[in-house]
């Protein structure tokens, strides 16, 4: 009986032991650290302030900072701002539009200037970071 008990005990110990347990655990930990770093990097671009919900949302394929203001026009009592990018693509924005991927809200447009709120640079929600571009 002792022989059977010892042989079963030795077989069970070998079956439970995994010699590669330590390496798989460290690779999982490094993958988790990489994911946490990505989450931390993405949180830097997020803002705690929420823009108005009644805005017309659009997505911009290029960075807003690389756009150049080329004109301000008035069509049927509504103003539009015309921007051009490096590839000579023309973009037009209206008042109360939100550029989703850059968190920029177009606030007011006149024939001389455009004012927008950059929600990424806003530190206090009560006093948003406003930028005015003039022709």
Structure tokens at 48: 């705690």
Q: What is the Cβ-side half-sphere exposure of residue 46, based on CA atoms within 13 angstroms?
A: 7
Domain of 30, in residue numbers: 2-44
Confirm whether 10 is domain-assigned.
yes
pTM for the full predicted model? 0.61
Shared domain for 6 and 67, answered yes or no, is no
Pairing of strands 97-99, 104-109: antiparallel
Shared domain for 122 and 83, answered yes or no, is yes
Measured CA to CA, the distance from residue 61 to residue 50 in angstroms comes to 22
| Local confidence pLDDT in tens for the 135 residues of the chain | 667 666 776 666 555 556 665 555 555 555 555 555 544 444 555 556 776 676 788 888 888 889 999 999 988 888 999 999 999 999 999 998 988 888 888 999 998 999 999 888 888 888 888 999 988
Shared domain for 15 and 62, answered yes or no, is no
Look at residue 85 and give its three-state secondary structure: coil
Ranges of beta strands (E only) in 1-135 are 56-58, 68-75, 78-84, 90-94, 97-99, 104-109, 113-118, 130-134
Confirm whether 49 is domain-assigned.
no
Confirm whether 6 is domain-assigned.
yes
The answer to whether 58 and 98 are in contact (CB under 8 A) is yes
């Amino acid at each position: 009986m002792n022989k059977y008990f010892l042989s079963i005990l030795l077989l069970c110990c070998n079956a439970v032991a995994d010699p590669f347990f330590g390496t798989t655990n460290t690779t999982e930990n490094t993958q988790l650290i990489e994911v946490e770093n990505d989450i931390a990097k993405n949180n830097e671009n997020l803002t705690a302030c929420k823009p108005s919900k009644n805005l017309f949302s659009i997505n911009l394929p290029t960075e807003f900072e690389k756009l150049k203001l080329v004109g301000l026009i008035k069509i049927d009592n509504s103003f539009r701002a015309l921007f051009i990018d490096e590839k000579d693509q023309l973009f037009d924005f209206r008042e109360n539009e939100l550029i989703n991927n850059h968190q920029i809200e177009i606030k007011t447009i006149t024939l001389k200037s455009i004012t927008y709120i950059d929600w990424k640079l806003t530190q206090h929600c009560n006093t948003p970071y406003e930028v005015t571009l003039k022709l």
